[in-house]
Chain A
Amino acid sequence: MRVGRWGFLFAVAVSIAACKGGGGAADAGTPSTGGKTLKIGAALSLTGAAAVYGNTQKNGIQAATDAVNSSNTMGGVRIDVVVDDDASSKEQGINVFQKFINQDKVSVIIGPTLSTTATAADPLAQQAKVPVLAISNTAPTGITDIGDYIFRDSLTEAQVIPGAVKKAHQKLGFKTAAVLYGNDDVFTKAGYDVMKKALDSEGVQIVETQTFAKPDRDFNAQLTAIKGKNPGILVVSALADNAAAIVVQARQLGYTGPILGGNGFNSPAFIKNAGPAAEGVLVGTSWNSASNDQANAAFKEAMQKRGATADQFSAQAYSGVLILAEAVRKAGSKTGRDDVKAALAQVKDLDTPLGKFSFSDKRDAQHEPSVQQVKDGKFQILQ
């Protein structure tokens, strides 16, 4: 069959048309050198493995934006948020960042949801000199290390887990532990490294270590091996979906000991999917849900009004917007990229749902973490 030169020309024409089609929706966007709007690009995982976190983050961001815009404390500056889905993938994350930086011309980017995506996409922002505020990247290294335009308000696993392990050890006095972690995700693997160190420094002997991958659904083999060693506690570093299945299967296999989870457990989706098996599970958290601070109360109320869940992820997202608003205030109502970047570093003891918030000199988050336990189908702060 003959394709000939018409086929070839057609080929070229279609490729150009396909490319241009994507560009058609572009508009100039607000320039990044100031003006009366703070344009924020929110790169969130609305689909994919991290969708449970991304969607609640979106709610937190929108709630905070409404609160700040109606509070009239911004010297006339309005916050405008553009939300885009990074599909929990690093390629999409890069595309979204590119769009935010060059097309929407945002002053600052919030996100992305997963640490894995951040390691690929944040360097772009650093190169383009656009500040990024991470609200859920908790891998201890590889995030703010990327450069001086990368900030985060999420405590790393290294800041939360040791406290949780210590408290659990105090209360339960276990001598041995088994660890189960996901070896195909930056966050869960980093969580494991921290857990191991924390257990070692508490003098607890790790009798069994097992791994799994995100797509896995059957954990019986690993859990059987773990149960066989009779550990005093099972420590798990997993994302929410795996976490629920692991806990359910562990109980089904007859493991009755305590379970301690990393940050991935911090989602009501975990409790929902694990059902009765979630009772008693301990989780370190960045968000003290029981706190009666004014900022926290306002946050919980705003979320309730929207019919959305108040959880750690939405709390960190909400706080993220508050932090950015404070940065604009400190910059004298200037909204340019470098203004925001310089002012972020000056945010100190800001009242947020997470407590009093400051950045460390490495641009990491600094505030008190807590430990919680699932009781009666809800997260309760462990005093």
Chain B
Amino acid sequence: MGQQAINGIFLGSIYALFAVGYTLVFGVLDILNLAHQAVFMLCAFTALAFVSGLRLHIALALPLAAIVGGLLGILLERLAFRPLRGRADSNISGLISSLAAATIFESFALQMWGPDVSRFPFGTFPDKPIHLGAATVSALQLTIVAIAIALMALLTGLLSVTPLGRQIRAVAESPRAARILGVDVDRVIAWSFFISSALGGAAGVLFGLAFNSVSPDIGRSIELKGLAVIILGGMGSVAGAVVAGFVLGIIEVFTVAQIGSSYRDAVSFGVLFLILLVRPRGLLGHSATREA
């Protein structure tokens, strides 16, 4: 029982970290960035390349890979989102554009690393099991949860206290008003993408470490879970994504333990559906419409 709770928190921390970036971009641009999962996957591979190819220590590879992720986010914004900004149907075309970018990123990963599952070399992270009563948790798992929580705390701090954070919140509220007030909207959007993708990339590296699996398809499965998380938490709400991430992780683990693993995903989507029908703004979200 306790072990399953630990499994749930562990899984949830990765879901939450992934979803936080997802929801940030939605909050700011009102666009669902379906390429987020591709950045997640590419950063996992990047960190792998740093560790096995360049022999960097994982403590260095993780932040470097996250920065690469952030840069990819900026590239993505420039190429796939900015040209569409004026258009009337920018939500749909943005979604499709991000889908195209995701496909392109995935093709790069396939060509460079092949379809097989790769893993971090043994010894990348010390694998000491720690016993908490009847449950076992590895030092790796504890570290991952700690890093995820730290990053999410950093983000929350950034958004509430720093000038950039305030500008991001202003643009999320109303880009036009923000521009009138002198905010450089383009720069803020670029920063939002950098932060979002860096966090998504970090989530990817942690995922790869957590489950010893890095392959071009790891983004696919988490992308749909990510959707469930941001809907449950409330689109655009970072705090909501954090809470919902942990909640979903725990729900999934207990579904597997008590009902059966076949129902795990069904429960996640059932929750998604229910929320959309009953309370579309999720746990902590604002109302669905948004000012121009």
Closest beta carbon of chain A to B18's beta carbon, Å: 13
* Nearest B residue to A253, CB-CB: B136
**Lowest 10 CB-CB distances: which A-B pairs, in order?**
A221-B256, A241-B117, A217-B211, A220-B7, A254-B136, A221-B253, A217-B213, A275-B122, A215-B221, A224-B3
Bound together, the chains give a CA A217 to CA B220 distance in angstroms of 12
Say whether A225 contacts B212, CB under 8 Å: no
Q: Mark A314-330, 1 if CB is under 8 A from B, else 0.
A: 00000000000000000
Query: Which residues of A166-223 have CB atoms within 8 Å of chain B's CB atoms?
Result: 183, 210-212, 215-218, 220-222
Cβ of A48 within 8 Å of any chain B Cβ, yes or no, is yes
Say whether B136 contacts A221, CB under 8 Å: no
Q: Mark B205-241, 1 if CB is under 8 A from A, else 0.
A: 0010011110101101100000000000000000000
Say whether B253 contacts A51, CB under 8 Å: no
* Nearest B residue to A224, CB-CB: B3
Chain B at the A interface: SS class: helix
Stretch at the interface among A14-22, A124-132, A141-149, A244-252: A244-252
Q: Mark A224-238, 1 if CB is under 8 A from B, else 0.
A: 110110000000000
Cβ of B174 within 8 Å of any chain A Cβ, yes or no, is no
Q: Which of A183, A212, A241, A249 contacts B116 (CB 8 A)?
A: A241
Say whether A222 contacts B11, CB under 8 Å: no
Q: Which residues of B lie under 8 Å from residue A49 when comparing CB positions?
A: 115
Cβ of A52 within 8 Å of any chain B Cβ, yes or no, is yes
Say whether B7 contacts A241, CB under 8 Å: no
Closest beta carbon of chain A to B198's beta carbon, Å: 22
Cβ of B77 within 8 Å of any chain A Cβ, yes or no, is no
Bound together, the chains give a CA A292 to CA B57 distance in angstroms of 45
Say whether A220 contacts B11, CB under 8 Å: yes
Say whether B211 contacts A249, CB under 8 Å: yes
Say whether A224 contacts B262, CB under 8 Å: no
Say whether B256 contacts A225, CB under 8 Å: yes
- What are 27 pairs between A and B in contact, CB < 8 Å? A47-B110, A48-B115, A49-B115, A51-B116, A210-B261, A212-B261, A217-B207, A217-B211, A218-B11, A220-B11, A221-B252, A221-B253, A221-B261, A221-B264, A222-B261, A224-B3, A224-B257, A225-B4, A241-B213, A241-B215, A244-B117, A244-B119, A249-B211, A252-B136, A253-B3, A254-B136, A269-B116
Query: Which residues of B133-159 have CB atoms within 8 Å of chain A's CB atoms?
Result: 136, 138
Say whether A273 contacts B7, CB under 8 Å: no
Bound together, the chains give a CA A252 to CA B220 distance in angstroms of 26
Q: Which residues of B lie under 8 Å from residue A254 when comparing CB positions?
A: 129, 136
Q: Mark A42-55, 1 if CB is under 8 A from B, else 0.
A: 00000111011000
Say whether B217 contacts A252, CB under 8 Å: no
Say whether A183 contacts B256, CB under 8 Å: no
> Other than the known A221-B252, A224-B3, what 17 A-B pairs have Cβ atoms closer than 8 Å?
A47-B110, A211-B260, A215-B217, A217-B211, A217-B218, A218-B211, A220-B7, A221-B256, A221-B257, A221-B264, A222-B261, A227-B3, A241-B117, A244-B119, A244-B212, A249-B211, A275-B122
Say whether B215 contacts A220, CB under 8 Å: no
Q: Which residues of A lie under 8 Å from residue B115 when comparing CB positions?
A: 47-49, 51
Bound together, the chains give a CA A39 to CA B115 distance in angstroms of 29
Q: Which residues of B lie under 8 Å from residue A210 when comparing CB positions?
A: 256, 260-261
Say whether B218 contacts A276, CB under 8 Å: no
Chain A at the B interface: SS class: helix
- Interface residues in chain B, defined as those with a beta carbon under 8 Å from any beta carbon in chain A: 3-4, 7-8, 10-11, 110, 114-117, 119, 122, 127, 129, 136, 138, 207, 210-213, 215, 217-218, 220-221, 252-253, 256-257, 260-262, 264
* Nearest A residue to B140, CB-CB: A252
* Nearest B residue to A214, CB-CB: B217
Say whether B253 contacts A183, CB under 8 Å: no
Q: Which of A52, A216, A225, A249 contacts B257 (CB 8 A)?
A: A225
Bound together, the chains give a CA A47 to CA B207 distance in angstroms of 23
Q: Which residues of A lie under 8 Å from residue B264 when comparing CB positions?
A: 221
Say whether A222 contacts B256, CB under 8 Å: yes
Bound together, the chains give a CA A261 to CA B115 distance in angstroms of 23
Whether A273 contacts B117 in the complex (CB less than 8 A), given A224-B4, A249-B211, comes out as yes
Please indicate which of the listed interface residues A220, A221, A224, A225 has the most CB atoms of chain B within 10 Å of its own CB: A221
Closest beta carbon of chain B to A284's beta carbon, Å: 23
Please indicate which of the listed interface residues A218, A222, A228, A241 has the most CB atoms of chain B within 10 Å of its own CB: A218
Q: Which of B11, B114, B122, B138 contacts A252 (CB 8 A)?
A: B138
Q: Which residues of A lie under 8 Å from residue B122 when comparing CB positions?
A: 275-276
Closest beta carbon of chain B to A188's beta carbon, Å: 13
* Nearest A residue to B3, CB-CB: A224
Say whether B252 contacts A217, CB under 8 Å: no
Closest beta carbon of chain B to A64's beta carbon, Å: 24
* Nearest B residue to A225, CB-CB: B257
Say whether A52 contacts B116, CB under 8 Å: yes
Q: Which residues of A lie under 8 Å from residue B207 when comparing CB positions?
A: 217
